[in-house]
Chains A and B, each alone.
Chain A
């Protein structure tokens, strides 16, 4: 197979104030004609930098210090912008991660597509409009005429990414580079967009270099995969082989870190059966948000974020709450603890009904761990202070000294040590920060912990360690968890029972073992179908696992 793209010995440096970072060190990679290659790695591995280097789109601080990038027969390294423009778009198209910011907010979609068409296809303004319309239809957009006139902010995330695909494809490039094209999208949309991308590529014989951190995406899309770590490719081979029999220990760790759907039975530790005694009971809980109105210049409108949710969580269990973005799951979590006032319904904690805002005793026994520890910790307070303050405030510690000792104990419980107490949040890594967040919650010796997407800001290997820690702590401290998430595999691997939220309503709750039961609600089945398993064979029962349909939707 002739290579469309050949990268060899590529090195990229970032000159930061006071330090030089070697983001890519001697990367080797090739993409054959019509081939789909996945480049996979954790954040900071240099995969996106590699992709940006191909088209000369590196940030200002970065420069290529060595190696070669060959497109067809041409060496791209060392070309000036003007010379690179010959290949940009026409030869190599690029799709970026964030469709919200990657489209120009000031021009309608039709104008952005039309400009590209006129540049590459040398057509008239009117013809360009026709090309744009045709391509919108090809990427599965029904009302092309409305979308042509629409501005980016008027489209949904999935629609915008379809537009991006059209934008990158319409000039007929030989190679498409897609940098995390679905990371910002919901699971159900992710699959549609990936299938669309693969379908178009197959139709036109375009090769695809897909950058991702998700082995499910790798498995679903690629025929060959390269694993990147700290700027070098550590393993490369056919997707089937790398996923089933990884050679490099790092690849193996990464793959083993990802919870697989249907893998729950394989989990080692059996759990004590939960006591049949509700610790948290929600009855017909609802929340409306007012938008617009006086002073905002917009007409007033009401958004029902949560409506009529009733559920109970039993002492000692892990209750998983899953839903797509905007389903109201985080709002529901905040309503349960009285962090925001509810507009309807009642909440009872351990038999006592709680008012609109919680009491001190409730606060201590009912704790939260938030999604992004980078913002959930106050940047101006040391880790020790963050943990100790609420201890004194809520009367858990007898004095300053006691609070400090308890804080240190909590840090040790989460795998950090006393030396970390004096550090500020930005002096920790992402995983360590989340551990501090967990320590802050468990130091109060709560009964119930709400974990709002506790690992979604973390890399897979860190995520696995944090999940393990959470399970250990639960056993050790006799806790009850409510875990909120969008990743069905994680929720399934953790939870005893699962509730599915959709558009503010709880569509159903069920025992986790019954996830694959045929009686599941269509919304649950949609979430299940959207999962991209790493090992198709190991997927659960009762679902279609062919997973590689290649028709455009």
Chain B
């Protein structure tokens, strides 16, 4: 088991290397000259050359790559070209905010998705199932951006239950409760796509499990419906749920970026979109590298969890 985990960890190294190369490539392949774009036309060609040298842009690509990598590890990837402050000061707090939103959206995804799927699955073929599945079908074809708008309009404008956006109430002193209140609507909106993916999978898993031979065995022994639905179906769909949750983290993140601007959530999505508009490559690179690395780590954790849940691997697998 431990050996498996170590193997998986070792597999990360080449992966992260490839990702870092690709991210480095973004600035190399970008059509605009970042220096020329970022600094106004007031400077002479000589001055620009000086700045290029200062940023190391006159050196060969591999040296630039190593230099950039060193920058990333020491102070987060250099100076922002537009704001003139260290990239880490821009990217890290924003990413922290995004992580909060991701956590909320993932929780909504798992709880609501599994709930919807389970409900639909145990009522397979009944009216409840049909209504729920119609809702799922419509929901998964809604543009997330528009869905976010509707959520704001309903929760903040019509019903006035929740704040319309931002992370904290500007007048109050904040606190966890305030943050939570601000989190509900964007987390729900961002989880739309992934939640419904999970709902479909859980429904299919419940139906498959309910029609399985081993469940027939339990039924033939007179186990009550509650015991069968809870313990046995529950345990057998746990692995698929973890697996699919791991797979949907990517789509949760996509959803988060889609709703950040709508809900004025000061996260990495807004930072990256602004950086793209301003050709601020150090920020783009560090931001994307950070998110991609996090994603790879989440993937690793999912794999390990799945290994732990699989009775075939728990013992004598490695």
Interface of B is mostly: helix
Question: Could you say which residues of chain B place their CB within 8 Å of the CB of A204?
Answer: none
- For chain A, residues 272 to 323, give those with C-beta under 8 angstroms from any C-beta of chain B: 297-299
B238's nearest neighbour on chain A, judged by CB, is A106
Cα A297 to Cα B213 in complex, Å, equals 29
User: Which residues of A sit under 8 angstroms from B213, Cβ to Cβ?
Assistant: 96, 98, 101-102
> Which of B67-75, B102-110, B111-119, B216-224 sits within the interface?
B216-224
By the criterion CB–CB under 8 Å, are A151 and B223 in contact? Answer: no
Chain A residues in 8 Å Cβ range of B212: 101
A84 vs B224: C-alpha distance when bound (angstroms): 10
Which residue of the partner chain A has the closest CB to B235? A106
Flag whether A13 is at the interface (Cβ < 8 A): no
In the complex, which residues 195-238 of chain B have their Cβ closer than 8 Å to any Cβ of chain A? 211-225, 232, 235-236
The answer to whether A297 and B220 have CB atoms under 8 Å apart is no
Minimum CB–CB distance for A185 against chain B, Å: 16
| Minimum Cβ distance to chain A for residue B299 (Å) | 15
The DSSP consensus for interface residues of chain A is: loop
B-contacting 9-mer, from A115-123, A423-431, A502-510, A522-530: A115-123
B222 interface neighbour in A60, A89, A151, Cβ under 8 Å: A89
Complex CA distance for A118 and B298, rounded to whole angstroms: 40
Residues of B within 8 A of A171 (CB): 221
Closest to B303 in A: A297
Q: How long is the Cα–Cα vector from A51 to B235 in the complex, in angstroms?
A: 29
Contact assessment for A104 and B214 in the assembled complex, using a CB-CB cutoff below 8 Å: yes
B311 proximal to A (CB < 8 A): yes
Q: Is the CB–CB distance between B223 and A101 below 8 Å?
A: no
Contact B216–A90 (Cβ < 8 Å): no
**In the complex, B125 has a CB within 8 A of chain A:** yes
Query: Is A55 in contact with B4, judged by CB distance below 8 angstroms?
Result: no
Interface string of B122-166 (1 = CB under 8 A from A): 000100000000000000000000000000000000000000000
Query: What does the 1/0 interface line of A90-108 toward B look like (CB < 8 Å)?
Result: 1001101010011111111
> Which residues of B (22-47) have their CB < 8 Å from a CB of A?
none
State in angstroms the CA–CA spacing of A98 and B213 once bound together: 8
A456 at the binding interface (Cβ < 8 Å): no
B218 partner residues in chain A, CB cutoff 8 A: 104
Selected from B7, B216, B312, the residue in CB contact (under 8 A) with A151 is B312
* Complex: A105 Cα to B225 Cα, angstroms: 19
- Cα of A96 to Cα of B220 in the assembled complex, Å: 10
Chain B residue with Cβ nearest A56: B219
Within the complex, the shortest CB–CB distance from B30 to chain A, in Å, comes to 36
**Do B312 and A93 touch across chains, with their CB atoms under 8 A apart?**
no
Minimum-distance CB pairs A-B, first 9? A88-B222, A89-B221, A101-B213, A89-B222, A94-B220, A85-B222, A104-B214, A102-B213, A151-B311
9 CB-based A-B contacts, threshold 8 Å: A57-B216, A59-B211, A60-B211, A82-B225, A94-B220, A104-B218, A104-B236, A106-B311, A153-B311
Residues of B near any A CB (own CB < 8 A): 4, 7, 125, 211-225, 232, 235-236, 311-312, 317-318
